[in-house]
Amino acid sequence: MTSGPEGKDVAARVAVRLNAGIIPDATKVSVDGGTVSAVQTVFAGRFQATSQVLRAPAVVTMRPNATSAEAAPASASVESVDVAVSDAAKGAKVDSREPKVSSGRPELTDAAMVVAGGRGVGSEDGFGVIEKTADALGAAVGASRTVTDQHWAPHELQVGQTGKTVAPSLYLAAGISGAIQHRAGMQSSKTIVVVNKDAKAPLFQIADFGVVGDLHAVLPALVDEVAKRKG
């Protein structure tokens, strides 16, 4: 199951019902002679813990993006089940539903790629280049606290200590110096790319790739290149 709030909730209930062992938030799973073991990242990515499930069957929830979806060979069949619902459970009634307004972009917390902008974007208009880059890559849009505090981007996009925690395969940070409050929300990302004018920006320390330069020059060039390669 996916290690999201709903997945975790269901997994815990399933584990209790099956009297099974559970490993939440795994990044890898392997089966070795009937025992399931899973790897978890602990202490914000500082350590890897490998755990075995002693009481089968095993229930494992996987971190978003820890693995890619694969088609299962089995075919699904429909099975009808009669479920008795108690009166107490009917106490709540859904009055109306309002679908979430979709931005057309992937959800920030489980996107495979995130493009995030910081103070360096300079203005609300300047933030547009982050959105363009994200769209070119099919990535989600993120922002530092400064950006959301200045209302250059909506609050839901904030990545960091007081915002969302993300761990995408690719995190592209543009104009974000990388104060600890921001790093707390993205440091477990797999590949980190940093674009910043200031070569001393602390985020370069944890970057896999870095570009020292103005994001307003670098990102449009990237967008062009992506467009060119996509043909």
Partner 1 sequence: MMAVRFILGLLLTVVCLGIAGRRLMFLYRLGRTAQPLQGDRRPDTGAAVKAELLEVAGQRKLLRWTVPGVAHFAVFWGFMVLLFTVLEAFGGLVNSRFQIPFFGNWAWFGFVEDLFAMLCVAAIAAFVAIRIKEAPAGLGRRSRFFGSHLGPAWFVLFMIFNVVWTLLAYRGASINAQRVNELAGTPDAPLKFLQGAFASQWFASLFHPLGESTNEILETVLLLLSLAVLLGFTIFVTYSKHLHIFLSIPNVAFARRPRALGALQPVYSGGKKVDFEDPGDDDLMGVGKIEDFTWKGLLDFGTCTECGRCQSQCPAWNTDKPLSPKVLMMTLRDHALAKAPYLLATKEAPEGTEPTGIPEAAATEAEKPLVGPMGDESARVDEHGVSGEGVVPFDMLWSCTTCGACVEQCPVDIEHVDHIVDMRRYQVLMESAFPEEAGIMLRNLEHAGDPWGLGASMRLEWAEPLDFEVRVFGAAGEDQIPDDVDYLYWVGCAGALDDTAKRTARAVATLLHEAGVEFMVLGEGETCTGDPARRMGHEFLFQMLAMQNVETLNEVGAKRIVVTCAHCYNTLANEYPQVGGHYEVVHHTTLLARLVAEKRLTPVARVDASVTYHDPCYLGRHNRIFAAPREVLGAVPGATLTEMPRTRERSFCCGAGGARMWMDETLGTRINQNRADEAIETSASLVTAACPFCITMLSDGVAQRQQEGRAVGVEVTDVAEVLLRSIRPDLADAAAAVPD
Residue ranges in contact with partner 1 by CB under 8 A? 42-44, 46-47, 118-119, 122, 144-146, 149-150, 155, 158, 161-163, 165, 175-184, 198, 200-202
Strands (E) located in the chain: 21-32, 35-42, 47-52, 58-62, 113-117, 140-143, 170-174, 191-196, 209-212
**How many C-alpha atoms does 185 have within 13 Å on its Cβ side?**
23
Q: Which is nearer to partner 1, 60 or 203 (CB)?
A: 203
Is residue 27 within 8 A of residue 47, CB to CB? The reply is no
CB of 218 to partner 1, least distance (A): 17
Q: How far is the CB of 82 from partner 1 (least distance, A)?
A: 37
Coil, strand or helix at 28: strand
Q: By C-beta, is 198 or 225 nearer to partner 1? A: 198
Pick 112 or 179: Cβ nearer partner 1: 179
Residue 107: CB minimum distance to partner 1, A = 18
Identity of the residue, 83 or 92, whose beta carbon is nearer to partner 1 in the bound complex: 92
* Minimum CB–partner distance for residue 182 and partner 1 (Å): 6
Is residue 115 within 8 Å of 142, Cβ to Cβ?
yes
By beta-carbon proximity to partner 1, the closer residue of 31 and 199 is: 199
Q: What number of other Cβ atoms are within 10 A of residue 92's Cβ?
A: 7
The single residue listed with the structure tokens 């495979």 is 112
Min dist CB 40 to partner 1, Å, is: 12
Choose among 188, 109, 194, 115: nearest CA to 147: 115
